[in-house]
């Protein structure tokens, strides 16, 4: 059941927000580079952070890509499903894979899809995403290719299915793990976590949020462990706008 009027479990000022990007803050597009975040949403996030409410982006994208999409904001971020992380202080952490190994994996994936030009291989530096959004009939073939590579490198890689994509990411990286790490650090620690996401990749995050007594929100249809749902990216924008209005009103009252 969709709910456009989801209530927070505690007052807004006691919350910490973790936001997925593609399919949550931004509508999905045929190619990753075509994605954008509406100005309304960026403005709402800015208002929340100005009110002292921590907001982090937790995405399958690289942090460099996250920064490009949220500029001029710069937020704490978990990129590549947590394989890289930027603290609130700006300090970076990365799960590193051997450069020669990454080159070899990239070459093997490239060779595997050579006969399927409608499959799109995205290199994320320390991970790879095999997109079949423009060729849904090749889902099984894309899965086979991705599974073959993960089976070839089981100590280094794990497979993460998503919406029209199979991602090969460093073993140990998950959105749940990166949210848990953020929640041990200022300014997130001691707050109630709220996480919004739309994909299979977000379920690990929902599980951690639920364990912590926070609020998990699934965007769109599909089975989930999340507690609540919002219908669409537009509904997310409206919900965040409502929270921003609350935060802005609270700041005005404090200044008065």
Per the annotation, the verdict on 20 as an active-site residue is: yes
Going by C-beta distance under 8 Å and a sequence separation of 6 or more, which residues neighbour residue 106?
121, 123, 128
Q: In the β-sheet with 165-170, what is the strand arrangement from edge to edge?
A: 120-123, 128-131, 165-170, 157-162
Q: In the β-sheet with 15-19, what is the strand arrangement from edge to edge?
A: 92-94, 84-86, 77-79, 55-58, 15-19, 192-197, 215-219, 228-230
**Catalytic residue, candidates 20, 67, 198, 199:** 20
Beta strands in 48-137 (DSSP E): 55-58, 77-79, 84-86, 92-94, 120-123, 128-131
Enzyme catalytic residues:
20
């Amino acid at each position: 059941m969709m709910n456009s009027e989801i209530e927070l479990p505690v007052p807004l000022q006691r919350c910490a927000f973790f936001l997925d990007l593609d399919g949550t803050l931004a509508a999905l597009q045929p190619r990753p580079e075509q994605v954008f975040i509406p100005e309304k949403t960026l403005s709402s996030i800015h208002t929340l952070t100005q009110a002292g409410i921590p907001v982090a982006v937790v995405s399958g994208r690289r942090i460099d890509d996250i920064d490009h999409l949220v500029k001029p904001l710069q937020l704490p971020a978990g990129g590549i499903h947590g394989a890289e992380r930027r603290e609130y202080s700006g300090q970076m952490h990365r799960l590193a894979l051997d450069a020669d190994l990454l080159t070899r994996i990239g070459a093997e994936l490239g060779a595997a899809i050579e006969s399927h030009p409608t499959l799109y291989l995205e290199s994320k530096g320390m991970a790879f995403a095999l997109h079949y959004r423009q060729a849904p009939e090749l889902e099984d073939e894309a899965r086979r290719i991705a599974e073959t590579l993960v089976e070839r490198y089981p100590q280094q890689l794990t497979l993460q299915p998503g919406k029209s994509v199979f991602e090969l990411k460093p073993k140990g990286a998950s959105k749940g793990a990166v949210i848990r790490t953020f929640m041990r650090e200022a300014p997130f620690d001691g707050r109630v976590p709220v996480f919004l996401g739309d994909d299979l990749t977000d379920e690990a995050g929902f599980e951690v949020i639920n364990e912590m007594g926070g609020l998990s929100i699934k965007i769109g249809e599909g089975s989930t462990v999340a507690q609540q749902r919002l219908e669409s990216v537009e509904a997310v924008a409206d919900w965040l706008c409502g929270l921003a209005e609350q935060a802005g009103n609270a700041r005005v009252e404090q200044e008065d």
